[in-house]
Amino acid sequence: MTDIVDAGAPAGTEGKLIRALDWKGAFWVAAGVPPLVLFSIGGIAGTTGKLAFVVWIISMIMGFLQSFTYAEIAGMFGNKSGGASVYGATAWLRYSKFIAPLSVWCNWFAWSPVLSLGCAIAAGYILNAFFPIPAADSQAVLSWISAHATSITADSPRVAEYIAAHAGTSPDDAVKALLSADGVAAFTPAIRNWSLVSFNIPFLATANINATFFIGGILMLIIFAIQHRGISETASVQKWLAIIVLVPLLIIGVYPIVSGQILSANVTGLLPPTAAYAATDGTWSNGGWTLFLGGLYIAAWSTYGFETAVCYTRELKNPKTDTFKAIFYSGLACCIFFFLVPFAFQGVLGHAGMLAPGIVDGTGVAEALGGLIGAGRIVTQLLVILMILALFLAIMTAMAGSSRTLYQGSKDGWLPKYLDHVNENGAPTRAMWTDFAFNLFLLAIASDTSGYFFVLAVSNVGYIIFNFLNLNSGWIHRMDSGHVERPWKAPSWLIGLNTVLAFVNALFLGAGAKVWGYANALWIGFAFAALILPVFAYRHYVRDGGKFPVGAMDDLGLVGQDLGVRKAGILPYLALAGGLAIVLIANWFFQLPA
């Protein structure tokens, strides 16, 4: 199954991937991972309190260690694209045909939402730039409050409702709060509240077709147009975006530390909060541990993400040497950013400052970055542009990686046949259009103020499932395919440690999925993961007659439909049972603070 050509092949290359990258190109394509810290930095601070920066460090260390398993198995598949989920899935084929597509599917629906979430935040920045909501202390709002001071009285029903919702508030304070809210609303541009239609999706969330949705859709189309030109062009754009974005972000992360702005009180006395988004310290109770594990659960979605650097093995000029370099140096870069940025944010802003609405929803991060370096208005506006570019960087990485996962899944007979197509530039366009359509749906949910973390929490269920299956695939490949050449081989003790970490991640999944405001996030994630089972059954048993495409297992030295001997015996099944047991027990045992 040869569908690879060298870069610069003149003609007749339509439908084929092109070997146009070295490891540096793969590194640049994956450079959108460090900005992912900005997607959930406020949310993790809200759920874990002063422990937030520790959560990021622990999670990044785990991600870096786990990457060595991915690096080894990626080197075995010099003729496949799609990333670690594809390479690890082949280990499970001997034991169940249905587990392999589950791994690929879960990785895809975890990565793909970066498009919708990133575009939702970027749309928020654009709306804030052109149609800002006035501050409560702005002169216009204060003048409005003065002119309408008698419009709300202490015996108003609205005051009673406000006090009921905010226990302990005095009538006078309630009147002031309501007047302030009315004043802000009076000067809020109509487009900020406009919605074409809003509807509830049963058992999921509320979808909102509003200005954020339309702006986000346009941004996705722009990114699609860039990637339509192939991986080489994508890597070139990513390189310059990364330099423009990551260098200032690194400086901003270092500056508060070297200038002595870190307040020790903000990074000591490490305790979980009394409840999610509470500004007071709690204790290491069951509820406190649940919040902490919930932070580690969501952080994994960002910190583990640099494994996407091995999505492009099939497009590397020299996959034997470049695969390991790409993921290793991507991991080192992520360590720097995921260590420094959360620490600097928390050290300067403190726990209370991290709970600001703009930090939690991501649209105020640029202003916070400006505050870290004492920037004026002009520099802060430049940081807003920088944030939009950072989001573009992350979205470009997500579309490049997730579309190739779909493409290779189709090529190997796991996903629908129509995804098995690339254009004359070597871009998997049908997979990219599928990404686009799926993310328009997610964008409608993420455009609603309550939907952002719903999308994040549910998609991460898939990511942890993928992570569990792939970390276990390391030792399964060692047992079943030990004869296959590995350009780089991880120490055996590290393969063993990463297997243990697979079960630790299962603990995060069981305990943490419920933390993000959706008690059923775990079960919805499981249900979405299961959707691939009938899809694969149709592709494999109906469309392909129960046979995998010719050459699907060539990299393992297997011919035809021979899946090889199950040398690991019952062990993979015991691993699956153990992982599921940990998830279910953790979900039952760990409960949110009362």
DSSP readout, 45-96?
HHHHGGGHHHHHHHHHHHHHHHHHHHHHHHHT-TT--S-HHHHHHHHHTTT-
Cα three-residue angle 530-536-538, rounded to 5 degrees: 120
Q: Which two tokens stand for residue 430?
A: 């049908």
Q: What is the mean pLDDT of residues 449-476?
A: 89
> Is pLDDT of 2 > 70?
no
pLDDT score at 395: 86
Cβ atoms 38, 117 nearer than 8 A: no
Task: Provide, rounded to the nearest whole percent, the portion of the chain with pLDDT above 90.
Answer: 39
Q: Which two tokens stand for residue 451?
A: 């939907």
Q: What is the mean pLDDT of residues 8-26?
A: 63
Kindly give, in sequence order, each residue whose CB lies less than 8 Å from that of residue 221, ignoring residues fewer than 6 positions away. Answer: 436
Which of 12-21, 267-276, 469-478, 528-537 bottoms out in mean pLDDT, i.e. has the lowest? 12-21
> Is pLDDT of 488 > 80?
yes
d(CA 225, CA 300): 30
pLDDT score at 554: 66
Q: Which two tokens stand for residue 147?
A: 């002119």
Q: What is the mean pLDDT of residues 289-303?
A: 94
pLDDT in tens, 412-445: 888 999 998 888 888 889 999 999 999 998 888 8
pLDDT score at 32: 82
pLDDT score at 307: 86
pLDDT score at 559: 63
> Is pLDDT of 568 > 70?
yes
> Is pLDDT of 555 > 60?
yes
pLDDT score at 558: 65
pLDDT in tens, 322-381: 888 888 999 999 999 999 999 998 999 888 888 888 787 777 787 888 888 877 788 888
pLDDT score at 230: 75
Kindly give, in sequence order, each residue whose CB lies less than 8 Å from that of residue 411, ignoring residues fewer than 6 positions away. Answer: 1, 3, 420, 549, 552
Q: Count of CB atoms within 10 A of residue 79's CB?
A: 15
The pTM of the full predicted model, rounded to 2 decimals, is 0.87
Phi and psi at 206, nearest 5°, equal -100, 130
> Is pLDDT of 13 > 80?
no
pLDDT score at 11: 41
pLDDT in tens, 80-115: 777 778 888 888 988 998 998 999 999 898 888 888
Per-residue pLDDT band for 449 (boundaries 50, 70, 90) equals low
Cβ atoms 58, 269 nearer than 8 A: no
pLDDT score at 556: 64
Q: What is the mean pLDDT of residues 405-414?
A: 87
Strand pairing of 17-19 and 4-6?
Answer: parallel
pLDDT in tens, 177-233: 999 999 999 999 999 989 999 888 887 778 889 999 999 999 999 988 888 877 777
Distances (CA, A) of 33 to 36, 38, 332, 448, 561: 5, 10, 12, 25, 37
Q: What is the mean pLDDT of residues 260-289?
A: 92
> Is pLDDT of 561 > 70?
no
- Three-state DSSP at 215 gives helix
Mapping DSSP onto H, E and C, the string for 358-397 reads HHHCCCCHHHHHHHHCCCCHHHHHHHHHHHHHHHHHHHHH
d(CA 355, CA 358): 8
Cα three-residue angle 416-419-425, rounded to 5 degrees: 170
Per-residue pLDDT band for 461 (boundaries 50, 70, 90) equals very high
pLDDT score at 497: 97
Per-residue pLDDT band for 9 (boundaries 50, 70, 90) equals very low
More confident residue, 179 or 456: 179
Q: Which two tokens stand for residue 285?
A: 């109770």
Q: What is the mean pLDDT of residues 488-501?
A: 95
List residues bridging with 19 in a β-sheet: 6
Cβ atoms 441, 541 nearer than 8 A: no
